[in-house]
Amino acid sequence: MLKSLTKINLTTQIFIGMALGIAAGALFGEGILPLANPLADLFLRLLKMIIVPLIITSIISGVTGVGGAGSLGRMGIKTLAYYVTTSMLAILTGQLLVNIISPGVGAELGLQSQPQAVDASDQSLFGILLRMIPVNPIEAMAEGQILPIIFFCILFGIFMIQLEGKKREGLQNLFEAGFEVMMKLTGFVIALAPLGVFGLIARIVATTGFEPFKSLGIYFITVVAALIIHAVITLPLLLKLLGKLSATKYVKAMSPALMTAFSTSSSSATLPLTLECAENRAGISNRTTSFVMPLGATINMDGTALYECVAVIFIAQAYGIDLTMPQQAMVAITALLASIGAAGIPMAGLVMMSIVLKAVGLPLEGIGLILAVDRLLDMCRTTVNVWSDSCGTAIIGRSEGETEILQERSE
Ligand code: ASP
């Protein structure tokens, strides 16, 4: 029995975990929590344990693997161009849909509802950039501040390349071996994904229920529809046109990561799986994945950008405020910045929304209106965030001359 169970591939196992999680959460309600909580927490803690050492070893070996300042600069520019283009496309899709459907017009939301305390601490563009520089790299590592860690590791890698002979070789071997160990460790944690996903999903279904959809149903549908258009039409088109790759095959290869993104609502926690699937299931080189993916998990968030834009326009509609064209443009630009600044953790997008609201002079309390469905939308947008990182990595891999991607690999 156990033998035949382990024969089922990982994707199916995770899918079964998810389906059983929904059923158990709906059937037993909070009664499932004593089982779901430990499974969910165990899996999440193991994933979080991996993130920092994985990012450090992956970025440093990635930067040294790319080789030379020239190719690093070229790859960096391609990566950033992809991030900004796809995030803007996502924002435009959301903007179009929310203006057509107008879910907030006349919505019965009880506008006096709970004002939320929102951390609007320095979220200007300069503030975001400044916070990328760690005052103390060790502290950043201890606290798991991903962007400052990445910043330090990229610099460390760049200057490591400038060492000569044995010194450089020694360090490079050390980080490459460290990265291999972390990937093996990741493989071990991934085997637990079906159980973890079961726990996470059962917990969400048991605690959130279906009540919030009564008043926010149309808003919810608008966000999800826009996310689906971006994930199913826009990104696959880019994958086909720029990478000459089939999205159906690629989604199959990346599915364990996508399902984990959905269950954890965290791009960072999903990063170990994203790397594993891209390298071992899709056949993208370590040189590309280890540079593009950690960066993408932190700053490329198409789903979050789209969501920020739809949510803010929805809030304006609910308050009966008509946004002018320049204000709509302002929403689009600040939504992009907010998505770049948001950390890859659950509900980060909700907190960052304050900068978009402030930019067009809407009350921060507006966030209180959409809180009820944020949890579920977080799951959906995180999945799109990880899918966009994945597509970007494949496209950049192809543009760097990789021909092995998606060639006769199954599991
Ligand atoms: N949870 C999202 C992520 O990790 C960020 C967000 O809240 O939008 O990708």
Give percent above pLDDT 70 in the chain.
Answer: 91
Residue 332 confidence class, pLDDT cut points 50, 70, 90 = very high
Mutational pocket test of ligand 1: of 381, 383, 386, 387, the residue with most ligand atoms within 8 Å of the beta carbon: 381
How far apart CA 369 and CA 366 sit, in angstroms, is 5
CA nearest neighbour of 378 among 193, 239, 212, 129: 212
Structure tokens that stand for 397 in this block: 């891999």
Residue 66 confidence class, pLDDT cut points 50, 70, 90 = confident
Residue of 243 and 72 predicted with greater confidence? 243
Over 80: is that where the pLDDT of 240 sits? yes
State whether the beta carbon of 378 lies less than 6 angstroms from ligand 1. yes
Residue-range domain boundaries for the chain: 9-399
Which atom of ligand 1 sits closest to the CA of residue 385?
9
Are the C-beta atoms of residues 205 and 21 closer than 8 Å to each other? yes
How far apart CA 198 and CA 213 sit, in angstroms, is 23
Average pLDDT of the segment spanning 377-387: 97
Over 90: is that where the pLDDT of 237 sits? yes
Reported pTM: 0.87
What's the gap in Å between 217 CA and the centre of ligand 1? Answer: 21
Residue of 6 and 184 predicted with greater confidence? 184
Over 80: is that where the pLDDT of 129 sits? no
Average pLDDT of the segment spanning 129-142: 91
How far apart CA 94 and CA 384 sit, in angstroms, is 13
CATH 3.40.50 fits 9-399, yes or no: no
Residue 387 confidence class, pLDDT cut points 50, 70, 90 = very high
How far apart CA 389 and CA 367 sit, in angstroms, is 27
What's the gap in Å between 11 CA and the centre of ligand 1? Answer: 22
pLDDT (0 to 100) of residue 78: 94
pLDDT (0 to 100) of residue 212: 63
pLDDT (0 to 100) of residue 217: 87
Over 80: is that where the pLDDT of 171 sits? yes
pLDDT (0 to 100) of residue 291: 87
Average pLDDT of the segment spanning 75-101: 96
* Lowest mean per-residue pLDDT among 32-46, 300-314, 350-364: 350-364
Atom 8 in ligand 1: which residue has the minimum CA distance?
349
Count CB neighbours of 118 within 10 A. Answer: 18
Which DSSP string corresponds to 214-236?
A: HHHHHHHHHHHHHHHHIIIIIHH
Average pLDDT of the segment spanning 356-374: 85
Mutational pocket test of ligand 1: of 268, 271, 301, the residue with most ligand atoms within 8 Å of the beta carbon: 301
State whether the beta carbon of 87 lies less than 6 angstroms from ligand 1. no
Over 60: is that where the pLDDT of 227 sits? yes
State whether the beta carbon of 270 lies less than 6 angstroms from ligand 1. no
